[in-house]
Amino acid sequence: MAKDVFLGFIPALIIFLGISGYNVGPFVFLFFIVLAGIFLFSDKKGNILGLRRDGKSRAHAVVKTNVKFEDIGGQERAKNELKEALDFLIYQDKIEQYGIRPLKGILLFGPPGTGKTLMAKAAADYTDSVFVVASGSEFVEMYVGVGAQRIRDLFDEAKMLAKRNKKNSAIIFIDEIDVIGGKRDGNGLKEYDQTLNQLLTEMDGMKANDHPQILVIAATNRKDLLDPALLRPGRFDRHIIVDLPDKNARKKILEIHTKSKPLATDIDLNQLSMETYGFSGAQLESVANEAAIYALRENKLEITAKHFSNAIDKVLMGEQTDREASKEEKRRVAIHELGHAIVAEKVKPGSVSQVALRPRGQALGYVRHNPSDEQYLHTRKSIEQQIMIALGGAVAEEIFYGTRSTGSKNDFDQVLNLIQHMIETGLTSLGIVNTNYVAKDELVKETNEILDLLLTKTRVLLQHHKTVIEEALDQLEKEEVLSGEEFRQMIDKISKNEKSQIV
């Protein structure tokens, strides 16, 4: 508003002075200098030095988040640890008796989509605090001092809102804090270095007897990128990992997101939690939502297991495409996927959930795996099994066609990454090594030896079960989808027939 008045009044004043006979040359020069400054230091919305026209920061603030910890499925350990830290904010009189210093900052870190933002909102509800949220990217501009000013405004606004709404505390949530909190290179001249310095200054200035009390909660996917000064005690005191949910947590998340949805009687959330191994909370919410969309498309009154199966595939692979492969290409893809599936069933029985010959995303076909157990540590044997499963597609093509195709590229990338992981974790004949100090020839030799050994084992296994591929091929080409149970029954049936012929 003030800028608009300035731009309208000053030219009119200069014209008036010129008509009255005054020398307006210096005034015109000064006006254009000021106008150039406004143009350079303003963004498209008219904000100067990172402020809105009302003088406030760009942070989003709410008095009541209406998100409770009970609304967040799983993450029991993380929720309990966060609640304990928040109790220091609620029961200030009690902690003073023990001489406990109130926490200034809590860092939530973990993979994307695991519920870090939801937990911050629940923290505000739990403590009855004003909730002010900003993203790390909002503090970084090309002009020096803008980010630091925004940090000051953020803290001022949180205090002002808490006082205005008669709250005893305010929670400032900074998402993507790695944008401004990354490790510094020492020159101190970069804009985000000054922004980080201001954040550290504001946190250092927080006192136990402040009213209202401020608590900073930050979230990042990469804790290792953060500056040590930000992570030391007295700033972000608590580091809470918000990890991918395990099987029981996935079931609880699915229960929350399907509570208001009309589910058919064939829905087994326990089975769905097994089939969604490795999914984040956000992905599970998307699965429930996409399943409902599939039911709506078909005008069904209930959401069935088929809808959930399609939803899982969509979240994993993308929407089904209209690409039509030739008959010969489709047959090669079917053989490729059956190669993956057979190896998977033999090295990890019961792990195949579905074999599909439908194009999704960039894939012409795929095998959805369903591990029976949650596994967090891997031995050399378990990694070799993963490598053999990845090699199964290309080896099956070699057995039937004598050659491979470009469809194995992603499989080979996965194989090489797994072998590199084996070397880095000391699970190969090289022993415990730092790959930076090992000759490249030795690494290549070790990689080739592992590959040759596992290619041979995979080839022997698939040659022994070539009949299964031949039998399953026709059905897969016709139906385009084989459930894991159907596939296992087919393997058992063929194995029994072969044994009876031998007898």
pLDDT digits (tens, 9 = 90+) for 189-241: 566 678 888 888 888 888 877 788 899 999 999 898 898 989 988 889 899 99
CA distance 335 to 331: 6
CA distance 86 to 237: 12
Average pLDDT over residues 440-455: 95
Cβ–Cβ < 8 Å for 165, 174: no
Average pLDDT over residues 303-316: 91
At residue 41, the pLDDT reads: 47
- Residue type for position 350: G
CA distance 35 to 42: 11
| Listed range (110-124, 339-353, 360-374) with the worst mean pLDDT | 360-374
At residue 333, the pLDDT reads: 92
At residue 19, the pLDDT reads: 73
* pLDDT single digits (tens) 88-127: 888 877 888 888 877 889 999 999 999 999 999 999 999 9
60-241 folds as: Rossmann fold (3.40.50)
At residue 108, the pLDDT reads: 95
At residue 116, the pLDDT reads: 93
CA distance 82 to 84: 5
CA distance 398 to 479: 24
Angle between helices 466-479 and 440-464 (to 10 degrees): 80
Collect all residues with Cβ–Cβ distance below 8 Å to 288 and sequence separation of at least 6: 254, 257, 258, 261, 311
- Quick one: pLDDT band at residue 56, thresholds 50, 70, 90? very low
Flag whether pLDDT at 339 surpasses 90.
Answer: yes
Cβ–Cβ < 8 Å for 199, 151: yes
| Listed range (49-58, 125-134, 141-150, 250-259) with the worst mean pLDDT | 49-58
- Residue type for position 263: L
Mean pLDDT over the full length of the chain: 84
| Catalytic residue numbers, as ranges | 337
Q: Beta partners for 169?
A: 213
Q: Is 197 exposed, middle or buried (0-12, 13-18, 19+ CB in 10 A)?
A: middle
Q: What proportion of the chain, given as a percentage, has pLDDT over 70?
A: 83
Cβ–Cβ < 8 Å for 183, 226: yes
Angle between helices 380-401 and 327-347 (to 10 degrees): 150
Average pLDDT over residues 325-344: 91
At residue 34, the pLDDT reads: 64
At residue 94, the pLDDT reads: 82
Average pLDDT over residues 279-283: 92
Tally of CB atoms within 10 A around 104: 22
Reading the block at residue 167, the tokens are 């709250």
Average pLDDT over residues 415-440: 93
With vertex at residue 65, the alpha carbon angle to CA 63 and CA 66, rounded to the nearest 5 degrees, is 125
481: helix, coil or strand?
A: strand
Cβ–Cβ < 8 Å for 358, 365: yes
Q: Beta partners for 215?
A: 171
At residue 64, the pLDDT reads: 75
Average pLDDT over residues 458-465: 94
CA distance 129 to 62: 9
Average pLDDT over residues 174-191: 76
Q: What is the DSSP string of 486-502?
A: HHHHHHHHHHHHHHHHH
Strands in 213-356 per DSSP E: 213-220, 236-241, 352-356
Q: What proportion of the chain, given as a percentage, has pLDDT over 90?
A: 42
Tally of CB atoms within 10 A around 153: 20
At residue 390, the pLDDT reads: 95
Radius of gyration of the chain (CA): 31
CA distance 75 to 486: 35
Q: Beta partners for 236?
A: 105
At residue 357, the pLDDT reads: 86
- Quick one: pLDDT band at residue 141, thresholds 50, 70, 90? low
- Quick one: pLDDT band at residue 29, thresholds 50, 70, 90? low
Average pLDDT over residues 242-268: 92
Flag whether pLDDT at 35 surpasses 70.
Answer: no
Average pLDDT over residues 274-299: 93
Flag whether pLDDT at 43 surpasses 50.
Answer: no
With vertex at residue 183, the alpha carbon angle to CA 179 and CA 185, rounded to the nearest 5 degrees, is 115
For 145, list phi and psi in degrees, rounded to 5: 95, -15
CA distance 196 to 179: 10
Tally of CB atoms within 10 A around 201: 13
Q: Which of 261, 357, 390, 475 is nearest to 272 (CA)?
A: 261
Flag whether pLDDT at 45 surpasses 60.
Answer: no
Average pLDDT over residues 12-24: 67
Most confidently predicted of 314-318, 319-323, 345-349: 345-349
CATH number of the domain located at residue range(s) 327-502 in this protein: 1.20.58.760
Strands in 26-121 per DSSP E: 60-62, 105-109
| Listed range (30-39, 170-179, 237-246, 255-264) with the worst mean pLDDT | 30-39
Average pLDDT over residues 161-173: 90
Residue with tokens 């996965």: 414
- For residue 321, CA distances in Å to 9, 23, 74, 337, 476 come to 60, 73, 34, 18, 18
CA distance 71 to 73: 6
Q: Beta partners for 320?
A: 360
CA distance 317 to 299: 24
Flag whether pLDDT at 453 surpasses 90.
Answer: yes
CA distance 447 to 449: 6
At residue 503, the pLDDT reads: 45
At residue 1, the pLDDT reads: 47
Spans of all domains in the chain: 2-40, 60-241, 247-317, 327-502
* Architecture category of domain 247-317 in CATH: Orthogonal Bundle (1.10)
* pLDDT single digits (tens) 394-416: 999 999 999 999 889 999 999 99
List % helix, strand, coil for the chain (3-state, nearest 5): 60, 10, 30
At residue 147, the pLDDT reads: 77
239: helix, coil or strand?
A: strand
CA distance 183 to 490: 56
